[in-house]
Amino acid sequence: MQTEIIIAGFGGQGALFAGQVLAYAAMDSGHQVTWIPSYGPEMRGGTANCTVIIADEEIGSPLVLNPKAAIVLNLPSLDKYEPLVVPGGVLVVNTSLVNRTAQRTDIENVFIPVNEIAEELGNRRLLNMVALGALLAKLPVLSLDEVEKGLVDHLPERHKRLLEVNKLALHRGAEYALQAVT
């Protein structure tokens, strides 16, 4: 089994970090993994995305053309990646910054106000973990416990004080996705 995921947004939204956490958690759980970041020269405010492949066997190529899932944190990312998700896949859309609905009906669309949920938790920078939790609720390639362990083991020391609220953000995103009508 191989699962390909794209996480995309503006620089500063944590798309690359969410992918890194997912990749570390998968690697620590015994999976084969690739994580490929891509970002514009502007960094914060420019485009940023990453691809994560999680597999049970050796990965032949790190390139992702048609992912099983995508997290899109802004409108340009929705415009770019919605058409690429395979039929039957999952698309998590940040309704805080996206002002249109998804156009595809052959995928599972999860609309979630990740910015607002992160702000309710007291830190707008948690939006990436909220979105990741929502994705994992609909595409359980890893459990939330495995991702939490990835956070514990790989969160930089300077951010360890944010560990518990990151875990809470994952769970809040998953809860929202499971209750949402898609």
Structure confidence at residue 45 (pLDDT)? 60
Q: What confidence score (pLDDT) does residue 155 get?
A: 84
Rounded to 5 degrees, what angle do the CA atoms 32, 27, 169 make? 130
Q: Are 48 and 13 in contact (CB under 8 A)?
A: yes
pTM of the model: 0.93
Contact 52, 59 (CB under 8 A): no
Tell me, what's the pLDDT at 157?
87
Total Cβ atoms within 10 A of residue 168: 16
Q: Return the beta strands (E) in 40-150 as ranges.
A: 47-55, 69-72, 90-94, 108-112
Tens digit of each residue's pLDDT, the chain (182 residues): 899 999 999 888 999 999 999 999 999 999 999 999 987 665 556 679 999 999 999 998 888 999 999 999 999 999 999 999 999 999 999 999 999 998 999 999 999 999 999 999 999 999 999 999 999 999 999 999 999 999 999 888 888 889 999 999 999 999 999 997 55
Q: Which domains does the chain have, with CATH numbers?
A: 2-179 (3.40.920.10)
Tell me what pLDDT residue 1 has. 87
